[in-house]
């Protein structure tokens, strides 16, 4: 049996370690997207992480789940300058899904965001990827609004 993963924070300077998993997530979004496939087709890890690098390092927390030296899941949480918290990115290897890894990563991120006194704490689910809604609702996140974007 595969050992349980080890959970730890990843220093911002080691962000590149989650790149392969982030790229898998981007491919899932590309596949699931109904209207914005062109966005995900041209979206890169560098573009995604640019926003994180503009924040003070103490406002970005990267949790990873690691098993036998391999990152099997990650969660990036951020705090904006006006105190809003966000679960920015979450991905768990398919073989590790439904084993509590994603839930643990989000809970660790939420604990950190709460310690920073963030209000509100939110996340964005891409249209077409609604299959994750039940997972997030189980953790206390519910739809508040639907944002529409002009397709250009």
Structure tokens that stand for 99 in this block: 């084993």
Who has greater pLDDT, 32 or 3?
Answer: 32
Note whether 62 and 15 are within 8 A (CB): yes
List pLDDT tens digits, range 14-42.
999 999 999 999 999 999 999 999 999 99
Task: Give the burial class of 63: count Cβ atoms within 10 A of its Cβ; 0-12 exposed, 13-18 middle, 19 or more buried.
Answer: buried
Residue 144 lies in a domain: no
Q: Cα(52)–Cα(85) distance, rounded to whole angstroms?
A: 13
pLDDT of residue 3: 79
Nearest to 124 by CA among 133, 115, 134: 133
pLDDT tens track for 39-90: 999 999 999 999 999 999 999 999 999 999 999 999 999 999 999 999 999 9
Tokens 């996340």 sit on residue? 123
Domain for residue 145, yes or no?
A: no
- Give the pair of three-digit tokens for residue 2: 């595969």
Pairing of strands 85-92, 121-123: parallel
pLDDT in tens, 89-140: 999 999 999 999 999 999 999 999 999 999 999 999 999 999 999 999 999 9
Indicate whether 142 pLDDT > 70: yes
- Tell whether 143 is covered by a domain: no
Q: For position 2, what pLDDT does the model report?
A: 73
Domain housing 112:
6-138
Number of domains into which the chain is organized: 1
- Beta-carbon contacts of residue 129 (< 8 Å; ≥ 6 apart): 28, 29, 32, 33
Handedness of CA 83, 89, 95, 97 (dihedral sign): positive
Global pTM value: 0.95
- How far apart, in whole angstroms, are the C-alpha atoms of residue 39 and residue 73? 24
Residue 151 covered by a domain:
no
Which CATH number does the domain housing residue 86 bear? 3.40.630.30
């Amino acid at each position: 049996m595969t050992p349980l993963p080890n959970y730890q924070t990843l220093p911002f300077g080691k962000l590149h370690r989650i790149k392969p998993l982030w790229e898998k997530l981007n491919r899932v979004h590309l596949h699931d997207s109904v209207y914005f496939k062109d966005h995900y087709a041209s979206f890169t890890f560098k573009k995604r992480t640019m926003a994180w690098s503009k924040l003070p390092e103490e406002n970005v927390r990267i949790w990873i789940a690691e098993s036998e030296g391999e990152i099997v899941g990650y969660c990036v949480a951020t705090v904006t300058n006006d105190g809003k918290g966000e679960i920015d990115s979450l991905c768990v290897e398919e073989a590790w899904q439904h084993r509590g890894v994603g839930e643990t990563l989000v809970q660790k991120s939420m604990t950190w965001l709460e310690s920073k006194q963030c209000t509100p704490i939110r996340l964005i689910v891409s249209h077409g990827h609604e299959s994750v809604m039940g997972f997030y609702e189980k953790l206390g996140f519910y739809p508040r609004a639907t944002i529409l974007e002009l397709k250009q």
